[in-house]
Amino acid sequence: MAQKVAITGNEAVALAMKQINPDVVAAYPITPQTEIVQIFSTYVNNGLIDTEFVTVESEHSAMSATVGAASAGARAMTATSANGLALMWEIVYIAASNRLPIVMPVVNRALSGPINIHCDHSDAMGARDSGWIQLWSENTQEAYDNMIQAVRLAENPNVQLPVMVCMDGFIISHAMENAEVLPDEVVREFIGDYTPQKTLLDKENPVTAGPLAFTDSYFEFKRAQAEAMIQAKPYVLEVAREYAKVSGREYGLFETYKLEDAEVGIVVLGSTAGTAKNVVDKLRGQGFKAGLLKPRVFRPFPAEELATALGHLKALAVMDRADSFNAFSGPLFAEITAAMYDSGAQTKIVNYIYGLGGRDVGLGDIEKVYGHLARIAESGKVDQRLNYLGVRE
Amino acid sequence: MTAKGWRDTVPGGWIKEAGNALEYKTGSWRSIGPVFIPENCINCLFCWAFCPDDAIMVKDGKMVGVNYDYCKGCGICARECPAKNKALVMGEEG
Ligand code: SF4
Ligand code: SF4
């Protein structure tokens, strides 16, 4: 039977990894992800699981060893944060282009510089074009649930793509919350035995992984990789439906909160969505039609579904916990706006960059954003597209 | 090798047939190549030993010519050929 526990995000992810019992985990500690591999390594050390735990000398090596293990046909995982993900970069792309079903929690943290260890989304947003599926979590419960679903999703023969499970550093990773965890045997049965689609270790059928492809074939391989991501969306939903049967918790491409009859709305990823829901409740109490949408699946990007869910709004704020430094907007804004333009929606849209380097985002900050949206809805005009929330002027 | 459309590629670019590098005709990289002059050849097979590819064709222990499908035109064979009158000379081969 499922069990309610008080647990931090890192503990929940380490527990999920223990229940998954991967063949190989190669990892290197980095704050705020350190506890995941630390706790996981004690499970291995105490003989509770039989994972081959590889202590590597850097994140570049962590991802390289994980790619090697996955290529050999192992169920392989690692975990990282921020600069660690940046150091993996070269191999992160190779994991996706070689179509290896690796699962990796990314405990979101700001990239240097200045040096900072606190939460923002610049790490995973930087990897948005690496070809990995990205599942985002609002809290410990979602981080745990996403981890278990990620294994099924990555390993689906029709998907065969690596998955990042994103969760906010410290806010989720280190805060203790109530969460419901599944019994080991339910998780094991849900993920099933791993049957690799390809392996380097079958001497009857020798293969080559990661070969050269020049001008005459590289483009065809990339087109095929793009198609894998295009086709992945229904499998995200299929795995979510299956997971609902064992957990009772429903997941989709995104979650909407009081959005259907809303006049203004906010799109926000991760833990800030929880804060924003409180603000929505308060504003609704005052008769103000506020709503919210929290993306769960950023890759594949559910453009049509997002535009359909948001198109009726008079005014929308897309909140980015990362800046693109492109003199235009943050990454989430650019893609949501493109999706809305394609759909012909008339919604006025503004961008808020917020919470960089762990800058706290309170109820009052979110209320200010809704206040801005109310003014835009009334005037029908966007006064300022790019806004920075909570920065000292 | 017939050029495949993207739908026919193996996911992730894995190569599933062993030894299919043979199908990759790297000789197209060559600008000039070795021309074989059989009457000068003393069959020492230095060219075969030195060729960094597998482009010197040998039959029954005898040098019989250059396989231009794989010859890169590096010129090592022509340089190493010890025959008094060189049996391999770099030039515009056929
Ligand atoms: S030119 Fe170079 S590659 Fe060509 S046959 Fe001679 S040694 Fe081999
Ligand atoms: S090196 Fe010259 S002489 Fe010797 S086998 Fe080759 S072509 Fe003939």
Catalogue all structural domains in chain B, each as residue range(s) with its CATH number: 31-94 (3.30.70.20)
ipTM: 0.85
Residue of chain B nearest A218, judged by CA positions: B13
Kindly report the number of other CB atoms within 10 A of residue A325's CB atom. Answer: 8
At residue A183, the pLDDT reads: 98
C-alpha A283, offset from chain centre: 28
| Dist. CA B85 → ligand 2 center (Å) | 10
Please identify which residue in the block is written with the tokens 């203790």: A176
Q: Which residues of B touch A198 (CB under 8 A)?
A: 12, 14
Q: To test ligand 2's pocket by mutation, which of B43, B62, B86 has the most ligand atoms within 8 angstroms of CB? A: B43
The answer to whether A97 contacts chain B (CB < 8 Å) is yes
- For residue A359, CA distances in Å to A93, A126, A237, A362, B20 come to 30, 19, 33, 10, 55
Going by pLDDT thresholds of 50, 70 and 90, the confidence category of residue A2 is: confident
Cβ(A125)–Cβ(A166) below 8 Å: no
Contacts of A379 (CB under 8 A, 6+ apart): none
Going by pLDDT thresholds of 50, 70 and 90, the confidence category of residue A1 is: confident
Work out the minimum CA distance from A91 to partner chain B, whole angstroms.
14
**CB proximity under 8 Å: A 142-171 to B:** 160
Going by pLDDT thresholds of 50, 70 and 90, the confidence category of residue A358 is: very high
The answer to whether B94 contacts chain A (CB < 8 Å) is no
Contacts of A90 (CB under 8 A, 6+ apart): A60
The answer to whether A334 contacts chain B (CB < 8 Å) is no
Contacts of A376 (CB under 8 A, 6+ apart): A264, A314, A315, A348, A350, A382, A383
CB of residue B70 inside a 6 A radius of ligand 2: no
Work out the minimum CA distance from B91 to partner chain A, whole angstroms.
28
| Cβ burial, residue B6 (10 Å; 0-12/13-18/19+) | middle
Per-residue pLDDT reduced to its tens digit, A24-60: 999 999 999 999 999 999 999 999 999 999 999 999 9
Q: To test ligand 2's pocket by mutation, which of B46, B48, B89 has the most ligand atoms within 8 angstroms of CB? A: B46
Give the C-alpha separation, A177 to A156, whole Å. 31
Give the C-alpha separation, B46 to B53, whole Å. 13
Cβ(B5)–Cβ(A220) below 8 Å: yes
Helix (H) or strand (E) holding B46: helix B46-50
- In chain A, the percentage of residues whose pLDDT exceeds 90 is 98
Cβ(A265)–Cβ(A349) below 8 Å: no
Contacts of A51 (CB under 8 A, 6+ apart): A21, A22, A23, A24, A25, A40, A43, A44
What chain A holds in terms of domains, given with CATH numbers, is: 3-193+213-247 (3.40.50.970), 254-389 (3.40.50.920)
Cβ(A268)–Cβ(A292) below 8 Å: yes
At residue B2, the pLDDT reads: 62
Q: Which of A273-282, A334-343, B3-12 has the lowest mean pLDDT?
A: B3-12
At residue B20, the pLDDT reads: 85
Q: Identity (one letter) of the amino acid at A188?
A: R
C-alpha B47, offset from chain centre: 11
The pLDDT mean for chain A works out to: 97
Cβ(A322)–Cβ(A122) below 8 Å: yes
Q: Is the pLDDT of residue B1 over 70?
A: no
The answer to whether B5 contacts chain A (CB < 8 Å) is yes
Going by pLDDT thresholds of 50, 70 and 90, the confidence category of residue A125 is: very high
Q: Is the pLDDT of residue A86 over 80?
A: yes
| Cβ burial, residue A88 (10 Å; 0-12/13-18/19+) | buried
Give the C-alpha separation, A172 to A81, whole Å. 13
Please identify which residue in the block is written with the tokens 């005052």: A286
At residue B28, the pLDDT reads: 87
Going by pLDDT thresholds of 50, 70 and 90, the confidence category of residue A129 is: very high
Alpha helices in chain A (DSSP H): 9-20, 34-45, 59-72, 82-97, 122-126, 140-155, 184-191, 218-247, 272-285, 303-310, 331-343, 363-379
A327 SS3 class: coil
At residue B21, the pLDDT reads: 82
**A350's tokens:** 């503004």
Helix (H) or strand (E) holding B80: helix B76-80
Q: Is the pLDDT of residue B94 over 80?
A: no
Give the C-alpha separation, B35 to B24, whole Å. 22
Cβ(A131)–Cβ(A97) below 8 Å: yes
Residue of chain A nearest B1, judged by CA positions: A216
Cβ(B30)–Cβ(B64) below 8 Å: no
Per-residue pLDDT reduced to its tens digit, A227-244: 999 999 999 999 999 999
Give the C-alpha separation, A174 to A351, whole Å. 29
Per-residue pLDDT reduced to its tens digit, B23-43: 888 898 899 999 999 999 999
Q: CB A220 to CB B18 under 8 A?
A: no
Mean pLDDT value across residues A67-77: 98
At residue B77, the pLDDT reads: 97
Q: Identity (one letter) of the amino acid at B9?
A: T
Please identify which residue in the block is written with the tokens 């975990």: A79
C-alpha A188, offset from chain centre: 23
Q: CB A220 to CB B4 under 8 A?
A: yes
Nearest-CA residue for ligand 2 atom 7 is B87
Residue of chain A nearest B11, judged by CA positions: A99
Per-residue pLDDT reduced to its tens digit, A308-347: 999 999 999 999 999 999 999 999 999 999 999 999 999 9
Q: Choose the mutation target among A214, A225, A229 for the interface with B, i.e. most B CBs under 10 Å.
A: A225
Nearest to A102 by CA among A20, A35, A45: A20
Cβ(B21)–Cβ(A209) below 8 Å: no
Q: Is the pLDDT of residue A191 over 60?
A: yes
Total residues found in chain A within this entry = 393
Q: What angle do CA A248, A243, A232 make, to 5 degrees?
A: 140
| Dist. CA B82 → ligand 1 center (Å) | 15
Q: Is the pLDDT of residue B17 over 90?
A: no
Give the C-alpha separation, A25 to A105, whole Å. 12
Give the C-alpha separation, A29 to A58, whole Å. 9
Q: Which of B5, B6, B13 sits opposite A211 (nearest CB)?
A: B13
